[in-house]
Structure 1
Amino acid sequence: METIKANGLEFGYLSTGDGPLALCLHGFPDSAHTWRHLMPELAAAGYRAVAPFMRGYAPTTVPPDGAYQSGALAADANALHEALGGDSDAVIIGHDWGAFATYGATAHAPDRWRKAVTLSVPPMNAMMSGFFSYDQLKRSFYIFLFQTPLAEMALDRAFVEALWRDWSPGYHPTADVDNVMECLSTPANIAAAIGYYRAMLDPSRLLEKYAAEQESAVKTGERPTLYLHGVQDGCLSPEMADPNTVLTHLPPNSRADLIPNAGHFLQLENPKEVNRQILTWLS
């Protein structure tokens, strides 16, 4: 575990290897340990793999301004690129909320990144047509729960375990949930994780200082992107991640694929195939 200051926050991060930066960003409810299968392979391929804990997830500090919009996450990614000494050969890999950060970071500062990989959350414009279907609204109940004052009471270990069971059927996440609960060890950390979702639906929570990155987060960027989605994803329906549809919202020369034998946390459920696709893409 190391720490570094970027965008006004102190980030805790895991790292291995030497070479061009490969920044790996986790989502909810997860931690930097989610990249434990991929990071050694990135290092073996000649990258410096770095997995920070996202803003508000301990040991990374809780942002004093309460900013959790996608633009703030994109700003964090680009600031980490700067602080870690990244150059134009750097690559960025994001899962779930990390995918939102990746779309925004590469669109806002394309010169910082050579290629991108996103997992489990397609571009926002690709999602909109299916998000309000009855099936997807049932899957997304937690987003609406998190808008209420009950959210902080609901987000305990049992709730996190249930989400993992629903989102990745058949996977046993005990160690992963242990890591999540360490990241959400204080009321402030719990409020931070919920804050991502409150910023998603409440425009009053969007800080003007991240307006440019926020605008970039919903645009089609320039950097070729590999998008992967688990066939058994219980969080976002695979129908919302049809490769042909997703590709219409990704930059030119991108790729999209569905991963068999995997749900929402595909990098942990089918690491052999996910790692193969990512390493092939980056090479």
Structure 2
Amino acid sequence: MTPILHVRTDVLDIAYVEAGPATGPAVVLLHGYPYDIHSYVDVAPRLAALGYRVVVPYLRGHGPTRFLEDSTPRSGQQAALGADVLGLIDALELPEAVLAGYDWGGRAACVVAALRPERVTGLVSVNGYLIQDVTASARPISPELEAGFWYFYYFLTERGRAGLTANRREIAEVIWRRNSPAWDFDQATLDRVAAAFDNDDYVDVVLHSYRHRLGQAPGAPEYEALERELARMPTISVPSVTLAGLADGNFPAAEGLPDVGRFTGPRLHRRVPEAGHNLPQEAPDAFVQAVLDVTRLATGRDQVLDAS
């Protein structure tokens, strides 16, 4: 995942890696929390070899990505993440791209696919439709699932701020083990990713993300219009492939029916055996195939070679 390149938007200096031919169909691979670009360490080179122009950015608050101004709110809300993706593809002069991601990255991809479909060739989203219904944030879920989201509530407190500041790597490890109980990662893998948390904005962005989604913090004023659009829970009309890991400890792998009405364009849904929440790293074959298949849905023809 080198070399690290940089591009400026109106808000960020975004650090990213790029692979594949500059003239190939563009695909932007978006990581989640608490992870980084290494979720795509196996996916990115394979897609590049198949002819895609692959772009893998560090999200705001992660790795070498930096805010341009000290006065910019360190927002982690969904509209901010989506706006960053739009800013990235604008800065790279990509008229359109496949957007593929999971967790925070999948949410950002869903935001752009819903609100700016003319910029999205196709969508690959782990766990389906990820736009948050902030107005429903007070609605409880099952106690077993609530237990897995302990950090949502921890991050609402100043004790949580102190804990995340002091224990970034350790908190990530606890979340990883719950998210992906079948993933046998080693400490070197965790250390490599944890380096991305050594960012001055990391704590503020993460805390705001969870506080906003639970209705406990206001959004940044510059994203108010986008959040109003998202509050209507817009449908996604672009060709989509949704994935669900059968070994995801916090997000049970559904058949894709609960959010079927949120996708109005062509859609494939697959459940992936032995894959947890960090699906592109745990099941790279399935993720690569999803990108190929959404390309076929979008173009109606084989634009690149089969993953096999």
**Does TM, normalized by the shorter one, top 0.5?**
yes
| 2:150 alignment partner in structure 1 | 141
Q: State the Cα distance separating 1:46 from its structure 2 match.
A: 2.0
Instruction: Kindly indicate whether residue 113 of structure 2 is the aligned counterpart of residue 106 of structure 1.
Output: yes
| 1:54 alignment partner in structure 2 | 59
Q: Distance in 1 between matches of 2:81 and 2:280?
A: 21
| 2:10 alignment partner in structure 1 | 7
For residues 137-162 of structure 1, give each alpha carbon's deviation from its aligned partner in whole angstroms, at most 9, with x where no partner exists: 11111111111111233332222112
Q: Distance in 2 between matches of 1:216 and 1:116?
A: 19
| Amino acid across the alignment from 2:146 | L
Task: Please identify the structure whose Cα radius of gyration is greater.
Answer: 2
| Amino acid across the alignment from 2:17 | L
| Amino acid across the alignment from 1:223 | V
For residues 141-194 of structure 1, give each alpha carbon's deviation from its aligned partner in whole angstroms, at most 9, with x where no partner exists: 111111111123333222211211111113233344223321111453233223
Which one has the bigger helix percentage? Answer: 1
The list of structure 1 runs, each at least 4 consecutive aligned residues, that deviate by more than 4 angstroms after superposition, is 124-131
Structure 2 portions without partners, runs of 5+: 297-308
SS of the residue corresponding to residue 248 of structure 1 reads helix
Higher mean C-alpha deviation, range 196-205 or range 144-153: 196-205
Q: State the Cα distance separating 1:80 from its structure 2 match.
A: 0.7
For residues 228-263 of structure 1, give each alpha carbon's deviation from its aligned partner in whole angstroms, at most 9, with x where no partner exists: 11111112232xx33122322223211222111111
Q: Evaluate the alpha carbon distance shift between residue 176 and residue 30 of structure 1 in structure 2; reply closer, same or farther with a 3 A threshold.
A: farther
| 1:40 alignment partner in structure 2 | 45
Alignment of 1:60-71 (within 5 A): 60-62=65-67, 64-71=72-79
| Amino acid across the alignment from 2:236 | G
Aligned length: 280
Instruction: Kindly indicate whether residue 81 of structure 2 is the aligned counterpart of residue 73 of structure 1.
Output: yes
Q: State the Cα distance separating 1:126 from its structure 2 match.
A: 9.4
Instruction: Kindly indicate whether residue 29 of structure 2 is the aligned counterpart of residue 24 of structure 1.
Output: yes
Q: State the Cα distance separating 1:121 from its structure 2 match.
A: 5.6
Q: Distance in 2 between matches of 1:106 and 1:123?
A: 11
Q: Distance in 2 between matches of 1:36 and 1:146?
A: 29
Q: State the Cα distance separating 1:28 from its structure 2 match.
A: 0.4
Match of 2:198 among 173, 182, 185: 185
Normalising by the residue count of structure 2, what TM-score does the alignment of the two structures yield?
0.83
Q: Evaluate the alpha carbon distance shift between residue 82 and residue 191 of structure 1 in structure 2; reply closer, same or farther with a 3 A threshold.
A: same
What's the C-alpha RMSD, in Å, of the aligned pairs? Answer: 2.3
Q: Evaluate the alpha carbon distance shift between residue 148 and residue 203 of structure 1 in structure 2; reply closer, same or farther with a 3 A threshold.
A: closer
SS of the residue corresponding to residue 228 of structure 1 reads strand
Contact 1:227 1:255 (C-alpha < 8 Å) held by counterparts: yes
Higher mean C-alpha deviation, range 40-49 or range 21-30: 40-49
Q: Evaluate the alpha carbon distance shift between residue 47 and residue 222 of structure 1 in structure 2; reply closer, same or farther with a 3 A threshold.
A: same
Normalising by the residue count of structure 1, what TM-score does the alignment of the two structures yield?
0.90
Contact 2:20 2:54 (C-alpha < 8 Å) held by counterparts: yes
Structure 1 portions without partners, runs of 5+: none
Q: Distance in 2 between matches of 1:3 and 1:119?
A: 27
Q: Evaluate the alpha carbon distance shift between residue 213 and residue 201 of structure 1 in structure 2; reply closer, same or farther with a 3 A threshold.
A: same
Q: Distance in 2 between matches of 1:248 and 1:139?
A: 27
SS of the residue corresponding to residue 222 of structure 1 reads coil
Contact 2:115 2:234 (C-alpha < 8 Å) held by counterparts: no
